[in-house]
Structure 1
């Protein structure tokens, strides 16, 4: 396969996170240009060939790393060495824990051209937490070499609080007295053969803020120079559809429900719905969303939203395999040195289902 001088994004893993991320990047490449997309499957299985073919049809370039089995199924491929020599960004979307173990590998000479390494999912020691737009300042002047795109539920918790400030997350300290989150987790992903739990399973607290969900959100805010008072608890239930977050906020001043709904409506990455079950919300995304996904950080069922002066209670559903992608794409653009301008942001906002 011929080489190209256009800078590349090197994607590792094509599962429930990697495949839609690769697909979105290929859509952006074909629409706006400016980069190539190299795809390295993780231990390719015969059953995964159709999804790889769909990436090749969009213009992706498949990579054989010498042991992932690509050459057993595809007559045309590019070597890992050549792909990395043309790349500036690595996105590691491999199974949980794999990216953390690869940090030493990423210091090898073969990766010398890479400007930024981006891990997806629960890779908490990989680098600082990152989510867009809150963490955008981290990538402006002296960006870190390694970043960890925050988990899906961290994106949703941040989305719950985003309507309460106008420009900078630091403004939360002016209005928010305390936040409490209860995360009702799905157990198995629809695309995996994971076993279901047989009944509600407690997620144990691990810090003064409770479960890891609250700790991760405050890690995001800590990198921006502030923290808020919050707590989180969680339980896993036998559902394959969506995580659901119950929130209770105490504010320093009174607001109205109309004010809050207008703030949610004006945020390009937050959604509302009249549906009251996560299977219905999930199904609506499957039927109407690009690649069957919703892409917003949080989906608010409006009929369950309660505003009583300084008290706010409600629910937010987490689009678990899609709400991290816009954050990842922003980081990719920064690593490539490309402008994340109005056209790109408008296009990405357009794939969000604002009303689910």
Structure 2
């Protein structure tokens, strides 16, 4: 394959996170142009061939890294070295823990022209957390070489608090007295063969603020120069559908439910629903969403939202297989040196299922 001046993004992994991320980037590439997409499967299995074919049909370029088995199934592919020589961004969506272990690999000469390395989810030693739009200043001046996109539940926690400020998250210190979160985790992703728990399993606290969920949210805010008073607890239940977060917020001033619902409705990356079970919310996304996904940071069941002056209680469901992708795409655009302009943001806002 010949040389090209069009910059590339090199995606590693095509699973629950990697496949929809690759698909969205290919949609953007085909609509707006400006980059190409290289896809490196992780230890390709025969059962994964249909999903790889769908990426090739969208214009993806498949990569054989010498050991992932691509050449055993596909007659046309590009070598890892050739793909990286045309790429400016590496997006690692491999299984949990893999990106952390690869960080030393990313200092090898083959990666010399990569501007930014992006890991997904729980790769906490990979680099600072990134979550769009809160963390966008992190990539403006002297951006880090390595970042990891925040977990799905961290996106939802931030989404719960976003309606309470107007422009910058630092405004939270002026209105939020304290936040308490109870994270009800689903046990296994529907797309995986992981075993289910047989009953509620406690997630143990790790610090005075509780479980890791609250710590991760404050890590996002610490990068922006502030912290909030919060607590978090969690339990894992035997359900494959969605995480569900119960929140209790104490405010410094009174608000109304009408005000809060309007703020949620005006946020392009938050959703509302009249449904009252995570299986029905999940099913609605499967039936109506792009690639069967919801893509918002949080889904608020409005009938469970309580606003009593300075106290707000309610629930938010986590679209765990899709709510991180807009953050990843923003970081990819910055690494490619492309403008994340109104057209791009409007296109991505358009894929969010606002009413579930």
TM-score of the superposition, structure 2-length normalised?
1.00
SS, match of residue 264 in structure 1:
helix
Deviations 1:133-178 (A, max 9, x none): 0000000011000001000000000000000000000000000000
Residues of 1 paired with 2:74 and 2:292: CA distance?
27
Residues of 2 paired with 1:327 and 1:144: CA distance?
15
Does residue 1:115 correspond to 2:121, yes or no? no
| TM-fit CA distance, 1:209 | 1.4
List runs of 5+ in structure 1 lacking aligned partners.
Answer: none
Residues of 2 paired with 1:204 and 1:98: CA distance?
24
Residues of 1 paired with 2:24 and 2:304: CA distance?
32
Deviations 1:273-332 (A, max 9, x none): 000000000000000000000000000000000000000000000000100000000000
| TM-fit CA distance, 1:121 | 1.3
| TM-fit CA distance, 1:207 | 1.6
SS, match of residue 63 in structure 1:
strand
Q: CA RMSD in A?
A: 0.5
Deviations 1:61-88 (A, max 9, x none): 0000000000000000000000000000
Residues of 2 paired with 1:2 and 1:293: CA distance?
36
Trace 1:193-272 onto structure 2 (pairs within 5 A). Answer: 193-272=193-272
SS, match of residue 296 in structure 2:
coil
Q: Which 4+ residue blocks in structure 1 deviate beyond 2 angstroms? A: 1-4
Residues of 2 paired with 1:212 and 1:13: CA distance?
26
Residues of 2 paired with 1:108 and 1:207: CA distance?
37
Trace 1:69-218 onto structure 2 (pairs within 5 A). Answer: 69-218=69-218
Tell which deviates more after alignment, 207-216 or 297-306.
Answer: 207-216
| TM-fit CA distance, 1:5 | 1.8
Residues of 1 paired with 2:302 and 2:333: CA distance?
34
| TM-fit CA distance, 1:34 | 0.2
Residues of 2 paired with 1:206 and 1:9: CA distance?
37
SS, match of residue 225 in structure 2:
coil
Residues of 2 paired with 1:5 and 1:170: CA distance?
40
Tell which deviates more after alignment, 45-54 or 199-208.
Answer: 199-208
SS, match of residue 95 in structure 1:
coil
| TM-fit CA distance, 1:122 | 0.6
SS, match of residue 218 in structure 1:
helix
Deviations 1:204-260 (A, max 9, x none): 111221111000000000000000000000000000000000000000000000000
Deviations 1:156-203 (A, max 9, x none): 000000000000000000000000000000001010000000000000
Residues of 1 paired with 2:126 and 2:210: CA distance?
22
SS, match of residue 282 in structure 1:
helix
Residues of 2 paired with 1:137 and 1:212: CA distance?
24
Residues of 1 paired with 2:63 and 2:6: CA distance?
17
List runs of 5+ in structure 2 lacking aligned partners.
Answer: none
Residues of 1 paired with 2:351 and 2:313: CA distance?
28
Residues of 2 paired with 1:103 and 1:95: CA distance?
14
Residues of 2 paired with 1:143 and 1:272: CA distance?
34
Residues of 2 paired with 1:209 and 1:328: CA distance?
28
Residues of 2 paired with 1:333 and 1:208: CA distance?
38
Residues of 2 paired with 1:228 and 1:312: CA distance?
16
Residues of 2 paired with 1:351 and 1:304: CA distance?
25
| TM-fit CA distance, 1:4 | 2.2
Residues of 1 paired with 2:274 and 2:208: CA distance?
35
Residues of 2 paired with 1:55 and 1:75: CA distance?
15
Residues of 2 paired with 1:203 and 1:148: CA distance?
23
Counterpart for residue 26 of structure 1? 26
| TM-fit CA distance, 1:3 | 3.2
Deviations 1:43-74 (A, max 9, x none): 00000000000000000000000000000000
Residues of 1 paired with 2:263 and 2:51: CA distance?
38
Count of residues paired in the alignment: 356
SS, match of residue 137 in structure 2:
helix
TM-score of the superposition, structure 1-length normalised?
1.00
Residues of 2 paired with 1:6 and 1:281: CA distance?
40
